[in-house]
A and B are shown apart, each in its own frame.
Chain A
Amino acid sequence: MEDFYREIIIDRYKTPHFRGELEPNDITYEDDNPACGDHIRIDVRIDENQVVTEAAFSGEGCAISLASADLLLESIIGKSLEVVKELAKEDILDMLGIELGPVRLKCALLPLKVLKAGVYGIEGDDSKE
């Protein structure tokens, strides 16, 4: 089980690189995992080309969900929103480097769910303009 808590997961949980809030921001979204009460908020700033320049997360969660958030945000800096929208479950599992059962998979995927909801949300706003 120590394998499960790989060094990178413990490191990112204890000393995250992307923890915080961005005000103002271009994209912000938050959501809960009702099964465990975890809560994640993600803020993103983008440039005029829809490329992510800054990102931060805040909230409460287990090592898996918070390490997942930190690694996810690191991976999207410099990427366009189009690329972000293509991110999938496998990308998260690759970053974490572990296999997960159905319950913990929800923890790992909560940040991606929040990020994608935020990205699709801003697209919705654009279409209204």
Chain B
Amino acid sequence: MTAKTTTGFDVQQVRKDFPVLSREVRPGVPLIYLDSAATSQKPEVVLQAMSAYYRENNANIHRGIHQLAEEATHAYETAREKIVRFIHAPSTEQLIFTRNTTEAINLVAFSWGRNNLSAGDHILLTEMEHHSNLVPWQLLAAEMDLVLDFIPVTPEGVLDLDEYQKLLKNNPKLLALTHMSNVLGTINPLKEIIRDAKSIGAVTLVDGAQSVPHFPVNVVDLEADFYAFSAHKMCGPTGIGALYGQKDLLEKMPPFLGGGEMIKRVELRSFKANDLPHKFEAGTPAIAEAVGFGAAVDYLLELGMDKIEEHERLLTNYAMEKLAEIPDLTVLGPPAEKKGGVISFYLNDIHAHDVAQIMDGSGIAIRAGHHCAQPLHIKFNIPATGRASMYLYNTLDEVDRFVDGIQKVKDIFK
């Protein structure tokens, strides 16, 4: 069974855009890629954009006068404009290219945190954070003697909003949380959460690594002060991500890394920082990757983020229904209507590594482990889970194959 799964969204046509999806994992075993929460596959248009940049335009940006330097600068800055429009940010000054989400969060911790926090201040996080939105704050807390508070996760796998209201009484200076959990799939009600944090004067940072690739995000509507995400989870290349920030905050923040490009003027013992966003982009950036990032955004917009969201909702609902029929299998996190296409699960008495290994034998790529969210696994008292995560190119047929794969695991361990 193939054909269209969603109105106006031809998944078989989409699959043809991704070269890797036509490969066999081993002879006669086609690839079923269910690990897009770790990194997505890349469409031909992204690969071609990057290759064309290197073949035709390659030069260092912003400094050269020659034709290639002009073209390279234009390509890099055009990519920035595309990404700004994609998240509905007000200006290109507010979109800083980073290496990834992790570096974007570290930038805020280093530059904003060190200059706006003092000993005894509270930072409010949640129990469902990826290590990338946890460890930077642990480092800062150790250095500056800050207090970390955590919004608890309920047994159902959503944030405990009553506890959140209580924790706001500690007057946190910063609330940093994920838009969508990379383990539970939970999509947090960000708008209300941010509104309440801002009402007590807290600055807000959102880890958008799992959200921006999968549904429309409007940073102005959310009123987030900082919003971080990565290209490689949204059909773009590795090595580039972005940080959106409120202009007044970014302007007051000192540079993150020092070097070329982030300066206006340098003397032997002093420098004057460059304007936004260049102040935060020291050194030669990932230019080809920025071009690829821009091409990825074009690709997603052409398909339509609302269509992609609808397609993934269909896959998620179907997968959750199918998995509910399997005895001894537990899915972590809330019911389908509160989550995106990330399904972490465990089978009684069978370790997640063994599940993933047997799945791989059928060409099915899932992840096993704690998915960089060890505290959450400790909380649920599970050493490891298997995780199937879906994207625009997955099909209902692949969900069926995944469910068959679980049955095969159970047969082997019978």
Q: By the criterion CB–CB under 8 Å, are A38 and B383 in contact?
A: yes
Report Cα–Cα, A35/B383, bound state, in Å: 11
The reply to whether the CB of A12 lies closer than 8 angstroms to some CB of chain B is no
Q: Is B392 an interface residue (CB 8 A)?
A: no
Known: A35-B369, A36-B370, A37-B370. Is A107-B358 also a contact (CB below 8 A)? no
Residues of B within 8 A of A39 (CB): 383
Within the assembled complex, what's the spacing in Å between the Cα atoms of A14 and B354? 13
For chains A and B in complex, what number of residue pairs have CB atoms within 8 angstroms? 56
Bound CA–CA A5/B368 (angstroms): 17
A37 touches B377 (CB 8 A): yes
Q: How far is the CA of A114 from the CA of B354 in the complex (A)?
A: 21
Minimum distance in angstroms from A11 CB to a CB of chain B: 11
Decide: A37 and B369 in contact? CB cutoff 8 A.
yes
Is B361 within 8 A of A1, CB to CB? yes
The answer to whether B358 touches A5 (Cβ under 8 A) is yes
In the bound complex, what is the Cα–Cα distance between A35 and B374 (angstroms)?
Answer: 10
Give every chain A residue within 8 A of B354 (Cβ-Cβ). 5, 62-64
- A36 touching B357 by the CB < 8 A rule? no
Q: Mark A58-89, 1 if CB is under 8 A from B, else 0.
A: 00111110000000000000000000000000
Q: Are A63 and B369 in contact (CB under 8 A)?
A: no
Shortest B380–chain A CB gap in Å is 12
Q: A37-B383, A62-B351 are in contact. Are A1 and B357 (CB under 8 A)?
A: yes
Q: What is the bound-complex CA distance between A39 and B370, given in angstroms?
A: 13
Given A4-B361, A5-B412, A37-B383, the answer on whether A63 and B374 have CB atoms closer than 8 Å is: no
Q: Which of A1-54 contact B (CB under 8 A)?
A: 1-2, 4-5, 10, 14, 35-39
The answer for the CA separation of A37 and B369 in the assembled complex, in Å, is 7
Closest to A66 in B: B351
Q: Which residues of A contact B360 (CB under 8 A)?
A: 1
Q: Is the CB of B353 within 8 A of A104?
A: yes
**Contact yes or no, A37 B374, CB < 8 A:** yes
Q: How large is the interface on A (under 10, 10 to 19, 20 to 34, 35 or more residues)?
A: 10 to 19
A4 engages B357 (CB within 8 Å): yes
> Complex: how many Å from CA A60 to CA B413?
17
Cα distance, A64 to B353, chains bound together (Å): 9
With A5-B412, A64-B353: A36-B384 Cβ-Cβ less than 8 Å: yes
A contact residues around B352 at 8 Å (CB)? 36, 62
Nearest chain B CB to A70's CB is how many angstroms away?
A: 14
* A61 touching B351, Cβ below 8 Å: yes
Asked if B353 and A36 sit within 8 Å, CB to CB, the answer is yes
CA gap between A104 and B351 in the complex, in Å:
13
State in angstroms the CA–CA spacing of A98 and B33 once bound together.
26
B357 engages A10 (CB within 8 Å): no
With A and B bound together, what is the CA distance between A37 and B374 in angstroms?
A: 8
Name the contact of A10 in the complex, choosing from B368, B370, B412 (C-beta under 8 A): B412
Can you name 12 extra interface pairs (CB under 8 A) apart from A38-B353, A62-B351?
Answer: A1-B357, A1-B358, A2-B361, A5-B412, A36-B352, A36-B370, A37-B377, A61-B383, A62-B352, A63-B351, A63-B354, A107-B353
Shortest Cβ-Cβ A-B pairs, 9 listed = A1-B361, A62-B351, A62-B353, A60-B383, A36-B369, A63-B354, A37-B383, A62-B354, A37-B370
